[in-house]
Amino acid sequence: MNKTIQLQDLGNKDYKETWEYQEELFKGIVDLKIRNRREELTLETPNYLLFVEHPHVYTLGKSGDLSNLLLSEKQLEDKGATFYKINRGGDITYHGPGQIVGYPIIDLDNFFTDIHKYLRFLEEAIILTLQEYGVECGRSEGETGVWLGVGTPFARKICALGVRASRWVTMHGFALNVNADLGYFDNIIPCGIRGKAVTSLNVELGVEKVNEEEVKEKILKHLIELFGCEFQYIAP
């Protein structure tokens, strides 16, 4: 089983371009698995993790409700934002500058075949990372992602998760607000959940800006611990 994950940091990249790139990597793994089965081969399947920061964009999962987007097409244009309906789970979310987005495109046959465990491990990597900054956080029952103030009137989400999997190959992933402009979340009902606020790491720490590269390194460290993997950096 291949436990090496090829890591690419795409920098600031258009959502649609990144989505198409994800689909390309995803299809390559799935096609190889089909070939292995059909031809009785044992060719090793690759794994990838993409780090990226998107220009302002709203995305709606396949089971999402379009009414959770509170902007017209003209208002989207005025805010310099785009909108896409996509093939991950979950409802509506926002991506933009100051947010670390991670897209693991991995063959879970190389690790474990359990989507629930996979989601919990992604959440745990973020929880452990935030705890290194002294931020108390955790899970909210029945809701994916990472939350602060669970069980209080001040519950707020700091990291959203939404994935797709086929033949145990994953795509899409997590979005952690580090230095995000939270005003953009006012234009949606985040994840379709009313009455829950959204926050960002810099807000919780009371600082103007958090070092995003440092946050990425901490996330990688915890992914290595949880998945028993190693990362190999490759140029985008």
160 has binding-site annotation? yes
173 has binding-site annotation? yes
How would you label 91-118 residue by residue, b for 16+ Cβ within 10 Å and e otherwise? bbbbbbebbbbbbbbbbbbbbeeeeeeb
88 has binding-site annotation? yes
Tell me how far apart the alpha carbons of residues 73 and 208 are, in angstroms, rounded to a whole number: 32
174 has binding-site annotation? yes
95 has binding-site annotation? yes
Q: Which of 168, 58, 152 is nearest to 105 (CA)?
A: 168
34 has binding-site annotation? no
**What are the phi and psi torsion angles at 104 (to 5°)?**
-80, 125
91 has binding-site annotation? yes
**Is residue 229 flagged as an active site residue?**
no
Q: Which of 154, 156, 205 is nearest to 179 (CA)?
A: 205
92 has binding-site annotation? yes
Q: Which of 192, 197, 194 is nearest to 68 (CA)?
A: 192
Tell me how far apart the alpha carbons of residues 37 and 58 are, in angstroms, rounded to a whole number: 38
Catalytic residue among 137, 159, 191, 229: 191
Q: Which residues are annotated as a binding site?
A: 88-95, 160-162, 173-175
Q: Which residues are annotated as a binding site for substrate?
A: 88-95, 160-162, 173-175
Residues carrying an active site annotation: 191
